Amino acid sequence: MEEDTMTYHSGSRAVQDRVGVRDMADHVGRSIGEGLRPVAAAFLELQPMLVLGAADPDTGRVWASPVTGEPGFVRATGPRQISVAHGPRAGDPLTAALAVAGTPVGTIALDPRTRRRMRLNGRSRPTPRGLAVEADQVFSNCPKYLQKRESYETVARTPGEPLRGSELDASQREFVRAADTFLLATVHGGGADASHRGGNPGFVHVTSPTELSWRDYPGNSMFLTLGNLAADPRAGLLFLDWETGAALQLSGTARTEFAPDGTRTVRFTVEAVVDTPGASPLRWSPPEYSPANPTLP
């Protein structure tokens, strides 16, 4: 069906069929639209952060990058368009990609105060103030695995010089092991997507300086992210320190392992690392972990 083709590509369909949730995916997929409803526009204008996911056309690497500002810096400027008052900070690995009109980009706005999140995927173009994204897909996700943080404050911080490498050092490995949240950028032939992963600290395993893994917890059955990885293994991960504002960005490839008992594990190979102290001016209150988080062994 034409509507199916627009909602899901062959990668997502392959995962849905393997797991046996095609009918559920068809039902949930009806929530994906091309336009911004008033409630979605109002939600965006309240957020101090937007995460962007895209591939750098020069290197081919996929990255997830945070953009922050006073609420209102992201706003709807048309029924299918958002405007972002400025792009990523200087030195961010997506700066060059987002300077090119037509770059496929996925965006996610999440609000830890309310455990709400919204995704908008489309194509970006630079503007005199920042960038605009013309939407192809707009949808919300359930609050599962999203840690609640009651409040935030904006702190005067100057981002430090990014530390770049090809593997995780000891302190970065410990940072990942302690994380309760990360953002995940993936791509496919027709676009890009940015999604959220959360769990109790320790849900991301670091098996070597270049290898991470995590359980893929049950979600909305659409399998947009795993479907993208089935079609194109490139991925970008963003880990944020919600107190200090540090941002750890990883780019590499990922594959999904399906176990006979129905569990799924994603294994990520690190190829490039960008570690920026004080990348975000936001300092959030301590988390209240989601009641949906599985208990870790």
pLDDT of residue 28: 81
CA-to-CA distance for 145 and 136, rounded, in angstroms? 26
pLDDT of residue 5: 40
User: How do beta strands 264-276 and 163-165 pair?
Assistant: antiparallel
pLDDT of residue 98: 94
Q: What is the phi-psi region of residue 12: left when phi exceeds 0, alpha when psi lies from -120 to 50, beta otherwise?
A: alpha
Candidates 51, 53, 49; CA nearest to 236 is: 53
DSSP 8-state assignment for residue 125:
E
pLDDT of residue 178: 98
Cross-strand pairs, 263: none
Which helix (H) or strand (E) segment holds residue 154: the answer is strand 152-154
Backbone angles phi, psi at 36, to 5 degrees: -100, 115
> Which residue has 């963003």 as its token pair?
238
User: What pLDDT tens digit does each residue of the chain (297 aa) get?
Assistant: 333 445 888 898 988 888 888 988 888 888 788 889 999 999 999 999 999 999 999 999 999 999 999 999 999 999 999 999 999 998 899 999 999 999 999 999 999 999 999 999 999 999 999 999 999 999 988 899 999 999 999 999 999 999 999 999 999 999 999 999 999 999 998 899 999 999 999 999 999 999 999 999 988 888 889 999 999 999 999 999 999 999 999 999 999 999 999 899 999 999 999 999 999 999 999 999 999 999 998
Q: How far apart are the first and last CA of the chain?
A: 43
Backbone angles phi, psi at 2, to 5 degrees: -60, -40
Torsion of Cα atoms, 268 then 273 then 276 then 282, to 10°: -20
CA dist 172 to 88, 126, 169, 246, 296, Å? Answer: 22, 33, 5, 11, 21
CA-to-CA distance for 219 and 223, rounded, in angstroms? 8
Half-sphere exposure of 1 (CA within 13 A, CB side): 6
Candidates 139, 107, 101; CA nearest to 122 is: 107
pLDDT of residue 142: 84
